[in-house]
Structure 1
Amino acid sequence: MSKKKIAVIVTAGVLGFLAVCYVGISIYFYQVFYPNTYINGGNVSDASPEAVKEALLDSMKDYALKVVPIDGEPIVLSGKSIGFHYNFDEVDEIKKKEMGWAWPVKFFTRTEYTVEAACEWDQAKLDQEIDGLRCVTQEMTAPSDASLVIDESGVHLTEAVKGNTIKKEALKKAIADTLAEGKPEINLDASGCYETPQITSESPEIQNELKKVEELCKAEVTYNFHGTEEKIGRDQIWNWVRKDGEGNLYIDEGAAYDYLCELAYRHDTVGVYRDFWSSRGYTITVDPGTYGWGTSVDSEIGPLMDDLVNKRVVRRDPAYYMTPYPGVDPNSPDDIGNTYIEIDLSGQYLWYYINGELIVSTPITSGTMSTGHGTPSGVYYVCSYSRNIVLTGDDYRQPVDFWIQVVGGIGIHDSLWRSVYGGSEYLNAGSHGCINTPYDAVSNIYWNIDIGVPVVMYY
C-alpha cells in the first residue's frame, strides 16, 4: 500500500475519531451547563438544570408574610400554611437556549445569568387563611365622612374616620400581589384594603366653606389690661362665626360680648377681695368694694365688632367705667398705691397717706352695729366732696362743714355734736353708717383730698 493511501486512511480515522468525540461531548453539554457558566453569581459548570434548581431552592429561606392591619397587632401568614413555594423553571428555559455543539467556544468565555424565582401557592389554602384573619373576622367600624357644622356654639370641623372595614376582594388581590413578588410584609392600609370616607377635610365642599370662615377670622385685637395682654385672634373669632338662614356667615356679637365679659372677670379688680398691708403691721384680706379696674363691656363691644368686621390688627386699652387713682402703676398687682384713706372699723381708727406719707391719724366713730347701721367694709373711693351741706335721713337733719362721699350715702364728715371717738362707741352709739371724724382731722383730709382716692375699710 502506498504511503499516500496510508496517509489518507490515517487522516480519515483521526477526523472520524474527532467527530465522534465532538458529538459525544456535544451530547453531554446538552444535559449540563457549559464551563464558565454562572447563575445568580454561582458557578454551575457541568451541573444539570435539576441540580442547579435544587441548589437555588436550598438557598431560599422558609417564606412568611407579615400582615400589618390598621389596628391591632401584625399577623404572620406562614408560607407552609398556604403551600407557598419557589419555582426556578427558568433554569430549564436557559438550558434549552444553549446549543450543545458550541461547547469549544464556552471553554474560553464566561457566561452569567440571573434567575428570578417564580412564587407559587395553593389558592384554596390562601383563601382559607384570609377568611380566618382577625382583621376579617373582627367587628368592623365603618368609615365616616368629615363634616363642617356652624351653629350657635361656633364652627365645628369633624375629621373623617377611616374605620377598619376590610374590602375583601381588595385584600385578596393585595396579598396575592405581595406573594407574587415574594415581599415579606404588606401594610393593609397603604395597600388600599379598607373602605375609605367619601368626604374628608380636604374635600372641596369643606375646604370652600373653611376658606370663608378663615376670611372672617383675620382680625387681631390685642388688649392691654393694665399690664397684661390679651389677644383676640383667629382662635377666638373661629368660635364666634355663625350662619344665618340664607347661609351667610357672620361674627356673632353676643359671643364676642360674652368673651369680653370673661376677660373683664379675669382682670377687673372692682368687686374682688384684696390682700392689704394694714397700718397695724400685718396683712389682712379686705372685702370687695367699688374701687379698682372695671371694664366697660357695653362701651367696648362696639369698637371690637368694628375691628373684627374690618379685619383690623390693633393694640389698645379696653374701655373702663372705673380706673384706679391716677399715679398707680398699671403694671402693679396692687392698684391701691401709696395714696389712700385706711379705716380700721374694729379698731375705730383712720389713717390718711399721701404718696406714702402719713397726713392724718385719728380715732373715728362709724355706723352703729346694734341698730344694723354698721359701716360697710370694702375698698371704695372718694366719689365727691362738699362744704356746708345738710345730711338728711328718716329721722334726722344734720348740717356738717365737711362732707367726703365714699359709697352711696356713706361718707367721712365732721361731727361737732360728738365729744368721744374711738373705743366701743360704734357698737351702740355710733352713726347711721357714716364715719364721724374730729373736726380738725376731717378738715385736713378735705383740703388735701382728690376724687378717686381709695378708701380701704375693714373690720
Structure 2
Amino acid sequence: MKKRKILYFLLAFSIAAFCALYVLLGFYYTDSFTYGIWINKVYCTGKNADEANLELKNHSFFNGLVVTAAGGHSYFVDSNMVDFNVDYRDELQQMIDKQNPFAWGLNFLKSRDREIVGNPTFNEEKLRYLVQSWDIFNIEKKDLYELKKNDEGYYLVENTEKTANFDKFYENIKAALYNKQYTLDLSDDSMYDSAAATEDDLNLYSLYEKIDELQNLKAAIKIGDVRISAKPSAVSQWMVTIDELTRAQIEAESQDNPGKGLFLAGDKVTTFPEKYKVEENFVTDENGNILLSCSKIHDFIEKNLSYVDTNSCIERFQKDGKGLIFVSGNKDGKLYDIDKEYESFIESVTGAGPAETEVDLPGKSFVIEGKELGKEYILVDMGNQHLSYYKNGKIKIEYDIVTGNTGLGRGTPVGLFHVYNKRYHTILRGVDYASYVNYWLGVNKGIGIHDATWRSQFGGEIYKHSGSHGCINSPLEFMQKLYESVEVGVPVLLYY
C-alpha cells in the first residue's frame, strides 16, 4: 500500500513537472520561434526575428539574373553590381506574432518547414546604368527606308529590323530581381520596337515614288514584230545624279546626237535649268522633277533599233538558227530615221504623242525568216561591198566586190533570190556594152555574180561612182572557187 502511494506521488510530480516545463517553454517561445521551425533550410527554433533574419541572410545565396534576348543574346545582371540585399525581418516577425507559443507541442505531429521570399532591395539607378551598357541598346538605329540600285533599276528596301525597348527591358528585369528570379526570357516581339518613319524617311519615300513612276513610264517603239520599250534598268541610267552634275551642266548640243545638252523635266524638254535642286543623289529642277538625259535616251533608241539592222539579224540567225531578218529598201541600208524615232519617243514620254509609235519601213523593205536561208547561202552586203558564202553554218568563201553604180542610178536591187543558172565562158551584153566573163551565177533576171578581170580593185566606195550595171563584180580567183562550190537553187540575200 505504501509503495503504491509513492508511485502515485512520483507520477503526479512528473506530470506536474512536465506541465510546468511545457508552460515555461511556452513562455520562452513567446518572442521566438517554437520547437521544430525550419525557414529556408535554416533551423530557427528559439531565435527571435532579428536573430533569425541574420541567420537567413548568412545562408541566403542569390548571385544574379541571366536575361535572354532575341537572336540568342544573353546578359548577366550581377547582384553585387546593384547592391542587392534581402531582408526577412518583417516576415519573420509576422510569423512569430501569428504563432501560439503554448501550442509548440503540436510541432511533433506536423512539419514546420517554411519558405519565405523576404524583402529584396537593390540600387535601381545602378541597375538602370548596368542594363544600359548591354550592347543590344547600343546598336546604331537604321533608317526606315534605304534606296538601292541593281541591274534592274532603283528599288526601296524597308528596314524590318526591330530594336530592343529599353524601358520594357528595364522594368521586366527590375521585377525579376525583386522576385529573385535566376532566369528571364525577353525574346518576345512585344519587347521590341519597329523602326519609326522620320522626316528623312518620308522624304526618301516621296522621292522613290517619283523614281518609280519614271522607271515605269509607258513609251515604246515598234518595228515589225519587235517592240522596244524602256525598262526600269534603262530609265535608271537616264536619271541625272550628283556624280554627273558637272558633265550635265556643260554638255553641248551636237548634230550627231540631237539629245545632247537637253533634258526631260516632267513633261518638258529643256536645257540644264539655272535653278536646280539635289534630292538625295538625284538632280531635279526647281519643281522637283528628276532630270532625264535626252542624249542618253537618244543613245538608247539608237542602240535598240540597231537590233534590227540586217547584219545584227543575220548574226543572231547564224548563232541560234532562227529569228527575223530585216532588209531595208534604201540604198543606204537604213531601216529607220534614228532622229525621227527619237523625237517620237520623247513625245511618248512627255504625253505629247501616242504611248507607242511604229516605224515606217522604207519602200521595198522586207522581212524574212532566217530559216529561209537554210544551211547554205550567199550574203551580198552591198553597204560594205563584201560577199560571203556559208555552208553548214561555216563561212567557206568571202571577198570584196563591186556592185551597181548608185551614182548613175544602177544600184543592185535588194532582195532574197536564188541562183537560177550557171554559165561558163560567156559574154554579157547590154545596150552599151559586151563583156566577156569566165564564170556566171544568175541571181535576178539579168543580174548575176561574175568575175570582172577588167577591174584591179574591189570593195570600198568604188560602186558609188564606178560601179557595175547592176551585177556583182568579183575577183577572178574567188569567183572560180564560188562557181565550183555553188549549185543552182542556193539562196542569195542582197542588201545594203
The structure with the greater share of residues assigned to helix is 2
Q: TM-score range by the shorter chain?
A: 0.3 to 0.5
TM (norm. structure 1) is 0.45
